[in-house]
Structure 1
């Protein structure tokens, strides 16, 4: 099961190219990323790791499965020193995997508010590499409120996403690849990668050396016992020059063009394509 979000057909073909990139380019950044993650978790507190009380059972269940089964089976030598039993608090049970696994984990539960029937709320997270948003401001919010800044979410995606979340059975994994262009190489970004409603666009000199294709490989799954859902994503960055030299420049240029041609034309504004789009397309086509 997979889903798309308001892009044209050109973006679909580009995502196929992104999947090819994943296969051809093994991740060689683990140690550097983990050092950065530990530093960010230490320095930024609940900006990166937080949890409410009701999400604790879901966090503990997922921690026990991940540390006691999944990682031990896949990487028996790497994680054998980490305790299998969850720590005393849900926050610590998020800090530990967040400090050893290069993936963000968000935990959601069905809302207890009768007015929110069928909707999920964010109850806990470890998110070291946000791309222009502040996760602390989103805790305890429903999906539609979390995505308020996203162009077209309420009109195009809210009902679809609520149905997917509510119907997802144990054992089923939803997968998706998201992509973006950023004019910086920072992984931890609380603002500046988006243009929100009411904000003005500003001219910017685009440094192509620091311009990257930023992708998220996303999964959604449900733990066995709890009613929670775990949304996980890993961030990849590819320099624009590497995309061009790898002969995927035409695909990326078409995807950029598609930002304003899909079912949500304002996506080009939200993703700052109106700022960097022409410069990047001209470079890819030169």
Structure 2
């Protein structure tokens, strides 16, 4: 074998190696680029809604039919009226597309919600620092996926293909009803909550698991520790935008507390619902959504109501003023006075369409609800006055008779039933 032949062989071998090495690097680079494009992150290193695979259930939002027109869509009848009231979870499965409902009250409700936020401040929205990321995740999903995909005639993503102002506003959701532009990303959690409250007629409460309890109750701390030993997380309310509370203060009494603490005033909750609720929250899978409904009679039409919709026995503080009632002296005289003040024209059947789902990235659970109000004369005219009257009587016939007192049926019950059956 000649030296020249050996040199040629070495040259060809080296060239082949270099070509192979270059080709391999190019292939790896292409794979990395493809992977990055599928899992892009925003400048904080977090995945955004637009980066998730289209098969993700949080992006598989079904648009309403082209015939849907929010301006001509009346509020649904939402009240679950039963002849006997039983305290149960009563959950129904829904899709993530069904989290938010829209109807012809949208413009009026947005005006009310914005006024409430201006006047009430932290009473309407709060966020503990531990929940900042979850608030951002909810915000990005609602404005980046749910609204523009579900309600195509009300919201649209402004892309970079427009001219003038539209090009400048790339990265915004346009509210076609109010002609306002909403950033698709918001770093300030309170601003994110306020924007949600200003554009969606739904209240949102966010809960995260925690290993601590804010209560001083020894019994409750024992229960929390027992749940932790079973590796079951205990969820605490850590953020909310709530423009329409129905007789409670999230700011004063609920923020930072567990489900059990939040529901402590509700008759029968501890015995009938506490364990099943804790289990359900702990096991709620990503991609699953459920709904339920409740109902009450209120003696006014005030939507932001931190007190006055419930009565408590002497084991719990009264809603307004933090006073405890003497059941043998104060309650009878108080109820008698309140009965005299009931005016049928001011009374409302109030109902919440409640939904529950988990955010995929942070694992936070979102409890949301849309509030409906119905005039009693409308209830009669639409033909379910007797159904409501029987449900009112059924409050003290079901599994938790104390619910009649808690819901103030002892105050408004006689007058409302008489009107419905007249």
Shift of 1:11: 4.9
Does the CA contact (< 8 Å) of 1:249 and 1:284 recur in 2? yes
Candidates 251, 261, 273, aligned match of 1:136: 251
Does the CA contact (< 8 Å) of 2:267 and 2:402 recur in 1? yes
The answer for the alignment partner of 1:4 in structure 2 is none
Deviations 1:240-275 (A, max 9, x none): 111111110111111111111111111000000111
The answer for the alignment partner of 1:210 in structure 2 is 346
1:1-286 map, 5 Å: 9-11=83-85, 27-76=103-152, 77-78=154-155, 79-80=173-174, 81-85=181-185, 87-113=186-212, 115=225, 117=228, 118-137=233-252, 138-198=254-314, 199=325, 200=331, 201-203=334-336, 204-205=339-340, 206-286=342-422
Does the CA contact (< 8 Å) of 1:8 and 1:263 recur in 2? no
Shift of 1:27: 3.3
Deviations 1:116-162 (A, max 9, x none): 63321000000000111111021000011011111111111111111
Partner Cα distance (1:8, 1:233) in 2: 21
Does the CA contact (< 8 Å) of 1:11 and 1:254 recur in 2? no
The answer for the alignment partner of 2:33 in structure 1 is none
Deviations 1:153-187 (A, max 9, x none): 11111111111111111111111011000010110
Length-normalised TM-score, structure 2: 0.61
Point out where structure 2 has 5 or more consecutive residues left out of the alignment. Answer: 1-80, 87-101, 156-172, 175-180, 213-223, 315-324, 326-330
Q: Which runs of 4+ in 1 moved over 4 A?
A: none
The answer for the alignment partner of 1:16 in structure 2 is none
Does the CA contact (< 8 Å) of 2:126 and 2:241 recur in 1? yes
By relative contact order (CA 8 Å, sep 6+), the higher-ranking structure is 1
Residue-pair matches, total: 267
Partner Cα distance (2:126, 2:247) in 1: 18
Counterpart secondary structure, 1:188 = coil
RMSD: 1.8
Indicate the structure (1 or 2) with the bigger Cα radius of gyration: 2
Deviations 1:98-124 (A, max 9, x none): 111110000001122362633210000
Length-normalised TM-score, structure 1: 0.89
Point out where structure 1 has 5 or more consecutive residues left out of the alignment. Answer: 1-6, 13-25
Q: 1:9 to 1:282 in 2, by over 3 A?
A: closer
Partner Cα distance (2:248, 2:375) in 1: 22
Shift of 1:9: 4.9
